[in-house]
Amino acid sequence: MTAGDEVGDEVVDAVLTGSRAMVAVAARSLSAVAEDITIAQYRTLVVLASRGPQKLADLAEQLGVTPPTAGRMCDRLVRRGLVNRDREQADRRVVRISLTPDGRRIVDDATRQRRMSLARILAVLPAAQREEVAAALRAFAAAAGEVPDAEWPAGPGEEAGQV
């Protein structure tokens, strides 16, 4: 960030407040489909759904955690049957983590719940404001490196972008 790019406290506060609302929607949607999955575990499933199978080190980087932390989280998700952990044939030291059909189902079901909640919230706003919110959030998501749903790789038995 350059000196001319400083972000004012009011802007950060507004986004912080909005992000709390989004976290609340995400937490409610997750608890509706899998109340025993933590937000951190769900984020792991979403990263795998949106970016495809990942090396453990790459997954850790995407999650902003250390590889041992990502490994422990994946251990829990493997035990629950939500992700697979496979060693690459060419280099057995490399571990790839991938989503199972049950893991993808949780992501898809929670996404459907979240879509319904967001639609109810957005319906309160006038149409012009809804478009402004959508444009701002598209830009925000792109700046954060999020992959749009339409660009997600296909899950087992479906076509790409079908979330």
Tell me the CA distances in angstroms from 62 to 48, 54, 56, 86, 162, one per residue in order: 10, 10, 10, 19, 22
Report how far residue 108's alpha carbon sits from residue 39's, in angstroms, rounded to the nearest whole number.
Answer: 15
Helix axes 9-34, 101-123, angle to 10 degrees: 130
Q: HSE (CB half, 13 Å, CA atoms) of 27?
A: 7
Report how far residue 41's alpha carbon sits from residue 95's, in angstroms, rounded to the nearest whole number.
Answer: 18
Please report whether residue 4 resides in a domain: no
- The whole-number pLDDT of residue 87 equals 83
Please report whether residue 154 resides in a domain: no
Buried b (16+ CB within 10 A) or exposed e, 53-75: ebebebbbebbebeeeebbebbe
- In the DSSP assignment, the letter for residue 127 is H
Please report whether residue 152 resides in a domain: no
- The whole-number pLDDT of residue 56 equals 92
Place of tokens 């571990």: 95
Please report whether residue 8 resides in a domain: no
Our count of domains for the chain comes to 1
Q: pLDDT digit of tens for each residue in the chain (163 aa)?
A: 454 578 888 999 999 999 999 999 999 999 999 989 999 999 999 999 999 999 999 999 999 999 999 999 999 999 999 999 998 778 877 889 999 999 999 999 999 999 999 999 999 999 999 999 999 999 999 999 888 888 888 766 555 554 4
Please report whether residue 10 resides in a domain: no
In CATH, what number is assigned to the domain containing residue 66? 1.10.10.10
Q: HSE (CB half, 13 Å, CA atoms) of 138?
A: 8
Please report whether residue 151 resides in a domain: no
Closest CA to 33 of 134, 115, 123, 143: 115
Please report whether residue 55 resides in a domain: yes
Beta pairing partners, 85: 97
- The whole-number pLDDT of residue 8 equals 87
Please report whether residue 118 resides in a domain: yes
- The whole-number pLDDT of residue 156 equals 60
Report how far residue 123's alpha carbon sits from residue 121's, in angstroms, rounded to the nearest whole number.
Answer: 5
- The whole-number pLDDT of residue 89 equals 79
Domain range for residue 76?
Answer: 24-146
